[in-house]
Amino acid sequence: MNIIQEKIQTFRFTDRFMDLFLLFVSARLAIIAERVLHSKSWHALDPQSFHFAALFIIFIIWLILIQLFESDFIYRRTPVWNIIKTTAIISFIGVTTTITLDFLLKMDLFNRSTIGFFGIISFLLLLLKRGAMKYFLSSIRQEGFDPKNILIVGSHKRAERIIHEFKEHREYGLRIRSILDPDSSRIGMAVDGMQVTGDMSNFKETLKDLDIDEVFFALDLNSIPNIHEIFTYLDTIGVSYHMMINESVHTYSDKHLNIRPVSINYYGMPMLSFHAIKASHIKLYIKNGIEKVFAVLLIIFSFPVLLLFGLLVYFTSKGPILFKQERVGLHGRKFYQYKLRSMIVDAEELKEKYAHLNQQSGPVFKIKNDPRLTRVGKFMRKYSIDELPQLFNIILGSMTLIGPRPPIPSEVSEYKDNQLRRLSMKPGITGLWQVSGRNKLKDFDQWVKLDLEYIDNWSFIMDFRIAVKTVSTVLSGTGI
């Protein structure tokens, strides 16, 4: 399954989950309306008014109806009147089918007034949600949902078909950042309204400069002389790629079995997809959703700590409360990481002065008992209190709770190709290297090895174990 299929599947899963949630809310509001109508206490639950089993029957019926009537439903393209009509039909058939089942099975799952209120409320809520989604997806048409940067290689008919489909599905966030072609004479030519921006001599620079997430090869691979070297480079830096099936691909896959290709049929074109990470888009989507909820809860519960140490930073040293630093995230995206300031104001300017004290190998700077730390900063570092503002980075989507360490741009500029693969997942506040003796690791290659181990073996269970170890590490005062 390639990226657009995964994104569509993720979107539909979220969409159906929202429908089920609204049906649950409709049932609860229907019970309240029925009890108020009969002068009963509105907050109580009565199985005779609406049995809990009826909810599961409703879920099944409505999901079947939504699939039947909205299988080809596209919010952005569907006229408002069609949305109203389809939602009304789903609600009417759903209510009548539910009442018929209740009558035939003689189960007495609900009062007639309750199911009547449910039909009206569910219609209004589902209609309101569909209208809101239509407006939202139309408004983010250019950026899309969870945007991914796409590079197209090729500029003939196959490329034109893919570009056309991507442009038709812009709400899914598939942004074509560049089109390259091995034939330099085609530079500047238009392909479905987009220009060819370069040839294959610009390939590596394009990947880095435009933060490319996925590459689509829409041409005969034999037209690229160094295609195997390009495949190896993409594998090394951790960028997923997709291509038309031909002899060159089979030759490559036979020699390099570390990434197994997935065969798919994409808009009538057979393709092979090589994914940089084993985790599916859907699982990572769920991971990000869970961690955002968890980040909000942590912000709420840790707010007194943030406030206290924010005031201590303000009153005990000159400078801002928060320290903002540019970091590198998923596939080279730049973002600002936020921390409570634990060092003196000119700490970055003094970095060169203390370079001889650096205890780490490779492009990393770390000093034990760093002389730039303030008194409050030393305590915050010990218990990782300075890391708390990064919870806002999670909510903004630039970081996750658990993942590889986010490097600074100057470090990334010194990376070897194989070290760039640690950028193939969103960075995290904590991760495998943080709970595996961070302060004892002196070799940067060991850091990278742990990050790649996390990327290659990621699972929800691994995240849970790292989270538990992180709590233990923080409480022990060794920092994360």
Domain boundary among 90, 109, 139: 139
CA-wise closest residue to 329 among 207, 414, 422: 422
CB contact at 8 A, 317 and 344? yes
pLDDT of residue 254: 47
388 token code pair: 């708390």
Q: What stretches of 204-294 adopt beta strand conformation (E)? A: 214-217, 240-244, 262-266, 269-274
Same domain for 463 and 428: yes
Average pLDDT estimate for 250-267: 52
Instruction: In whole angstroms, give the CA distance from residue 88 to residue 40.
Output: 30
Same domain for 255 and 357: no
* CB crowding 377-414: b at 16 or more within 10 Å, else e: bebbbebbbbbbbbbbbbeeebbbbbbbbbbbeebbee
Q: How confident is the model at residue 356 (pLDDT cuts 50, 70, 90)?
A: low
User: Structurally, how many domains does the chain consist of?
Assistant: 3
Same domain for 421 and 328: yes
Q: Give Cβ neighbours of residue 370 (< 8 Å, ≥ 6 apart).
A: 343, 354
pTM: 0.74
pLDDT of residue 31: 87
Q: How confident is the model at residue 250 (pLDDT cuts 50, 70, 90)?
A: very low
Same domain for 293 and 270: no
pLDDT of residue 257: 45
Same domain for 303 and 234: no
Among 69-73, 207-211, 320-324, 387-391, the range scoring the smallest mean pLDDT is 69-73
CATH assignment of the domain containing 242: 3.40.50.720
Among 195-204, 333-342, 385-394, 468-477, the range scoring the smallest mean pLDDT is 468-477
Q: How confident is the model at residue 146 (pLDDT cuts 50, 70, 90)?
A: low
Domain boundary among 274, 298, 327: 274
Average pLDDT estimate for 256-285: 67
Percent of the chain with pLDDT over 70: 86
Pairing of strands 174-180, 190-191: unpaired
Range of the domain at 465: 281-476
pLDDT of residue 309: 95
Same domain for 40 and 8: yes
Same domain for 430 and 314: yes
Same domain for 244 and 376: no
Same domain for 381 and 433: yes
Same domain for 26 and 94: yes
Same domain for 56 and 113: yes
Same domain for 180 and 43: no
Number of H helices, E strands in the chain: 14, 12
Q: Is the pLDDT of residue 447 over 90?
A: no
Among 200-214, 317-331, 354-368, 440-454, the range scoring the smallest mean pLDDT is 354-368
Query: In the predicted model, what is the mean pLDDT of the chain?
Result: 84
CA-wise closest residue to 321 among 342, 301, 304: 342
Q: Is the pLDDT of residue 256 over 70?
A: no
Domain boundary among 107, 139, 171: 139
